[in-house]
A = this chain, B = another copy of it.
Amino acid sequence: MGEFVHEEIPSTELDRLEATYRPLADAVRDLLDATIRTTVPEEQVRAAQAEIEALVARLRAEQLPGPAGVRFNSEARAWNWGNAVVGLRNAVAPPLRIVHESAGHAWAEVELGAPYEGPPGLVHGGVSAMLLDHLMGETASAAFTRVTFTGTLTMTYRRGTPLGPLRLEARIDREEGRKVWVVASIGDADGVTVEAEGVFIVPAWAAGEAARG
């Protein structure tokens, strides 16, 4: 694993930067959907491609040497704008906006469209697994008060998950030593479509840290 990077950007400045980058990524999310669904004539497709390539060259004129990583400042603010599930600047991410109701109980509401399709009209089973994995990891961390790693994750598919508005929910079920069991689900207005159970591990160094702290 790479380092968590300490970068001393004040939180007020981060808010301003997020207000700049969020609409850029949202425009890219929209472009991604349009790329799947467009039926315009082929010469227009080729023209769009050329313009996107020119745009990429301009954005790459100055860029990070690698992935975005996870950064934090000394005001205890952390940001992972590149994260595949919750990353503000990552158009692969819906992004999921997770509400930590309490330590060990979190939920999210999300609307999934064309880019998340698997079987016709349904959310890809792997996408459900991806979103649940992230929500459960954050839940195991008890709202970021400790570090946990995913041990095992089991998904049970009850029925197809329709594209559209969905709700995810996760809770810590029980804990034993450095092991944390989390149960979770995703579903639509008619109820649960996929259930999940995961075992998360608090690493020995972090458990020691907590004991010392």
Contacts and interface: CB of A to CB of B under 8 A. Distances in A.
A92 B116 contact: yes
A74 interface: no
A52 B37 contact: no
Given A56-B31, A119-B1, A92 B89 contact: no
A212 interface: no
Nearest to A129: B129
Contact of A83 (B20, B61, B124, B156): B124
A69 to B, nearest CB: 4
Please state the number of chain copies in the assembly.
2
A3 interface: yes
A24 B49 contact: yes
Interface string A55-66: 110111111101
A155 B130 CA distance: 11
Contacts of A151: 156-157
B64 A37 contact: yes
A32 interface: yes
A163 B153 CA distance: 21
Given A91-B35, A121-B2, A160-B1, A126 B67 contact: no
Contact of A122 (B1, B59, B89, B114): B1
Given A51-B51, A63-B37, A85 B124 contact: yes
Contact of A59 (B2, B20, B34, B89): B34
Contact of A32 (B28, B40, B44): B28
A150 interface: yes
A133 B126 contact: yes
Contact of A117 (B31, B48, B82): B82
Given A2-B119, A20-B46, A38-B62, 20 more contacts: A2-B122, A17-B42, A31-B59, A34-B60, A35-B90, A35-B91, A36-B87, A36-B90, A37-B66, A48-B59, A68-B114, A68-B117, A69-B120, A82-B115, A82-B117, A84-B117, A85-B126, A90-B114, A124-B134, A154-B155
